Each structure stands twice: as C-alpha cells, then as structure tokens.
Chain A
C-alpha cells in the first residue's frame, strides 16, 4: 500500500530556516499536504501542492516537490518559537483518503 516517510525530529535555532523532508510511494498522488499539530490540538492545514507543480510559496513557507524522486519538502523561513509543533506530510489521489507520515517534531530553540 501507500507509504509516507518522514524523519522524526528536527531542532533549529530561532531565526534559522527549517527544512522538513518527506518521501512517498504512491505514483498516483495528486495532492500533497503539510499539516501542523500543536500539543493536544487538531490538524491545521498549512499548505498543499498539486502534483503537477514543482514549488509553492506562501509567506514564510516554501514547498518543493520532486515528483521523479517522490520527495516533498517544507521550508520554514525565519523559524519562530511558535513554529514548534509536529508537522505531518500527507498525500492523496483526488478525493481519496489521505495517507499520513509519522510526523516530524520541530523544536525551535531561542
């Protein structure tokens, strides 16, 4: 079945850029997402990218997609302590169910 893999932990200093990586296996993925989850909270949709795009920028967030390698990354510029959370990569084909990665815990040190 489909699989989404992420590294478990990333630590950065405040003001630095963070890059969270994700790989997926489903070649029929049409949507790739990044969700943010703060402790005890729900899933906040941060951004998404369609599979026919290479890059999407939204303020401090940059998503890069390498469809050939099935690799997705999320770059957060000027990382703040409020960015500390778990970041989930997810993929879906059309309106089908999302397959999530295990999440990357981002720790931002002041």
Chain B
C-alpha cells in the first residue's frame, strides 16, 4: 500500500497521560500536514513540514503539542498531559509539493477519559 499510513488507528488514554502518533507519508512527498477533526467540523490545521523543516504551527495550538519529522520521511505528533478536549480524530496528509493535492491517512482517533 503506497498511501498515507497512520498508527495507531485508535487510542484511549487517561487524562494527564502523554500520547504519540505516527504518520508515514507517501514516499517522496515533501509536504506533511497534521490536522485535527471533531464531529461536524472541518479538518483544523495544526502544523506542517516541508521535508524535515517545520514551516508553520497553528497559533491556536497548545504548547502541549509537538511534532517532528526528523529525516523528512515519517512524522510523529506528541500530546503531553492530555485533556478531555484533546479527544478528536488526528489526520495526517502529505503532498508532493505546495501546488498539488493532499492525500490523507485514515487518521488516529484519540479518546481521553
């Protein structure tokens, strides 16, 4: 499968715990995006990378969120000290460059209890 892969698909965690999600983009896609989506809403932009460089991070994003793309391939999104409001679907997408379409993964559904 050469699509965008996200792991895990589902994560249930207790409030206050840290969680980490992984995204493997389509091979040779330079751009990688992280979005968060809640029921009835559109994907909310979190951050994006051009190769290994994190180019933009949403101003609405808490300091508890951090993302990396160390070698310009896969990326991880970590949420520290999770809160119930963090419960959402976390979507990763990749694109070849800034001018082409984004391909989404299946997402990681986070539930904070």
Do they bind each other? no
Give B contacts to A, CB under 8 Å: none
Give A contacts to B, CB under 8 Å: none
